[in-house]
Amino acid sequence: MNEATKNLGLTANARTVLEKRYLTRNEEGKVIETPEELFMRVAGHVASADALYGKSEGDVGAVAEEFYDLMTSLRFLPNSPTLMNAGKKLGQLSACFVIPVDDSMDSIFDAVKCAAIIHKSGGGTGFSFSRLRPNGDVVGSTKGVSSGPISFMTVFDVATEAVKQGGTRRGANMGILRVDHPDIMEFITCKDHNQKLNNFNISVGLTEAFMAAVETNSEYELLNPRTRKVIKKLKAREVFETIVKQAWKNGEPGIVFLDRINASNPTPSLGDIESTNPCGEQPLMAFESCNLGSINLAMMVENGEPAWQQIKDTVWKAVHFLDNVIEVNKYPLEQIEKTTKANRKIGLGVMGWADMLIQLNIPYNSEKALKLAEEVMGFIQTEGRLASSALAEERGPFPNYDNSIYYGEMMVRNATVTTIAPTGTLSIIAGCSSGIEPLFAVSYVRNVMEGTKLIEVNPYFETYAKAADMWSRELMEKIAEKGSLHDFKEFSDEVKSIFLTAHDITPTDHVKMQAAFQKHVDNAVSKTVNFSNSATTKDVEEVYMLAHKTGCKGVTVYRDGSRDSQVLSTKKEAPAQQEVHQKSKLLPKKRPSVIKGVTRLMKTGCGNLYITINEDENGRPFEVFTNIGKAGGCASSQAEAIGRLISLSFRSGIEQDEIVKHLKGISCHQPSWHDGGRVMSCSDAIAKAIEKYHPHSHGPEKGDKGNGKSKDRAEMLIGACPECGGTVEHEGGCAVCHACGFTKCG
């Protein structure tokens, strides 16, 4: 493997993401691993499973070499927990889990405990709250009344906020409620103002009976899950329209078609599937986990055609890899290990789909692209099952194989083989487009050290532009402002049709592509259907109906700018206030003789920085003092100067968020690591201390571990990355920043 390490084709952005999120660090937060060593660690650990099936040490070493080449060639990458934890003490390698929530206090709080353990290990969790009795229903043991599933969801949300995932990832949840639950209307609107349940994605579980009632404009029944008796009836279309309105408003809830999911349940005799993982692509039974990985289709093109033999070779090795992960995984709960090994579900998917289409000169929104999608995914599905069957011959089928009706006479090692997952940070590492999404931008701005901004250009477009003698930094900067070629007359319609972005594609075309892949996927497909800001609720409704008609198992929509409106609407008076400030001289408030506040320690590259924040009589931040424990000199004087200017700003009425925005992310030559987060400079440390300061609380908000990554912060809600300030794109059923690799879903 030593010779191969010289040839890693990682981009600078990929290496940055690996260093920031994946490479091993020591107790001081210093990176002590190279990307090459990471892939060696993962390959060796995953290959060790072969020893359990009689392979010699030499054979295991050869498999490790094979897995190393598979990853370092960027033809395949496993899900993030595997890259982060394989071969390390934590050893939890699965991305997604489903935990049951039954109708009792014991079950509810057992589920909270299980979720906390899973989040700490680096996984995401899905729950169905459909078994919980509705709000106002009788509680037999106390003769009181139930508060309903939504109130208990807040307990899960708070617990998630309090847990830091393995030091590198925050917890993420999926909450599902059946459409026939009596509390369904409250559930549909539970995230109306983005002020709670921020650690949850929510989806309504739609049934075929409900969809039929929508189409016929008739009523459907709500059932008490405790008694299974009909409580009342609702007009299906009114409920459906409420779902549509909320999704149009802020992207949630999503929808999942539960009956369709269970129609492809490989082990129906063991029970129904009630929930999915956080991004919706992995339906799982209670206490199941799944290991995911993605093939990079951008690497699978030869002579203007898909490289079928290379795809086949990659699929077979990837299935072997993912099956091995099941063996070497350290499961967070014994029950999860038992269920996972009984069904051995894996989820092999793809990334770089848009890149493949560009190389083949096929427009993303064409019939030819849809046909190729079915052909490519059908090929991967077939070869994946054949690879799983070959493993079954060698190692035996999954233990619950006798309960399966899915594969007919084909004996397989894995109950499911394929899934299309979001590939946020993985696609950055691989240097390709995300999942099966279109390009998110032809050109965009990436923030790097010292506040420098780099223009990142899609490599295929860069090659085209240079060959056509159309390359200039000025033009690339203009394209970066728009992201798309749509408004640029310099390019022909043919070129524009090849380099399409997510916002150049109609919502209908998004759904058609999702449906094309779903035809040959065991599990489900994670994809975002993007709408322009001007889209109507009718547009969203049509997409939902089309998704149902074309065989999708669920759908997530995002209307551009919809999640900023809630937050930004509270700041509409700001321009008027600014105008007043401009017309009159600002005089800072006088300091009272007695003032109270709190001092926070932040570790910086210049030493321990003590930051004191005092507040005025109204509980607003009023002044900042700083003291550096050891540095003195220039560093001390600069910190004092920053503190004085911040104090002047506070006393002049400048908002806390504005000060944080301008200071956070400023970097120096000597960054540090503090409480699980990177501190770029003294300025950055002061900004993060102010950001975590909550008036009257004299301490950080519950669940805030001091790294500035609390996901309910305004920056996350309004579409700006909470780590680098870049634009957050909604794709693959999640939110991801391509500038630094941050992803909301972990």
Catalytic residue numbers read 277, 279, 281
Phi, psi of 494 (to 5 degrees): -65, -45
Counting Cβ atoms within 10 Å, is residue 275 exposed (0-12), middle (13-18) or buried (19+)? buried
Q: How far apart are CA 277 and CA 284, in angstroms?
A: 7
Q: How far apart are CA 132 and CA 724, in angstroms?
A: 40
Q: How far apart are CA 144 and CA 676, in angstroms?
A: 43
DSSP string, 434-495: -TT--BS-SEEEEE-GGG-EEEEE-HHHHHHHHHTT---HHHHHHHHHHSSSTT-TTS-HHH
Q: Answer whether 293's CB lies under 8 Å from 318's CB.
A: yes
- Return the bridge partners of 597, or none: 614
The SS3 call for residue 484 is coil
Q: Answer whether 133's CB lies under 8 Å from 222's CB.
A: no
Q: How far apart are CA 490 and CA 496, in angstroms?
A: 10
Q: How far apart are CA 707 and CA 530, in angstroms?
A: 31
DSSP string, 498-537: HS-BTTTS-HHHHHHHHHHHHTT-SS-B--EEEE-TT--H
Q: How far apart are CA 3 and CA 207, in angstroms?
A: 55
Q: How far apart are CA 192 and CA 186, in angstroms?
A: 10
| Helices 537-549, 507-518: crossing angle, 10 deg rounding | 20
The SS3 call for residue 193 is coil
What is the token pair recorded at 418? Answer: 């394929």
Q: How far apart are CA 515 and CA 503, in angstroms?
A: 19
Pairing of strands 607-615, 621-628: antiparallel
What is the token pair recorded at 284? Answer: 């799982």
Long-range pairs for 260-264: beta carbons < 8 A, 24 or more residues apart: 260/208, 260/551, 260/553, 261/524, 261/553, 261/554, 264/406, 264/522
Q: How far apart are CA 357 and CA 468, in angstroms?
A: 20
DSSP string, 662-712: HHTT---SS-EEETTEEE-SHHHHHHHHHHH--TTT-SPPTT--SSS--TT
Counting Cβ atoms within 10 Å, is residue 544 exposed (0-12), middle (13-18) or buried (19+)? buried
DSSP letter at 347 equals E
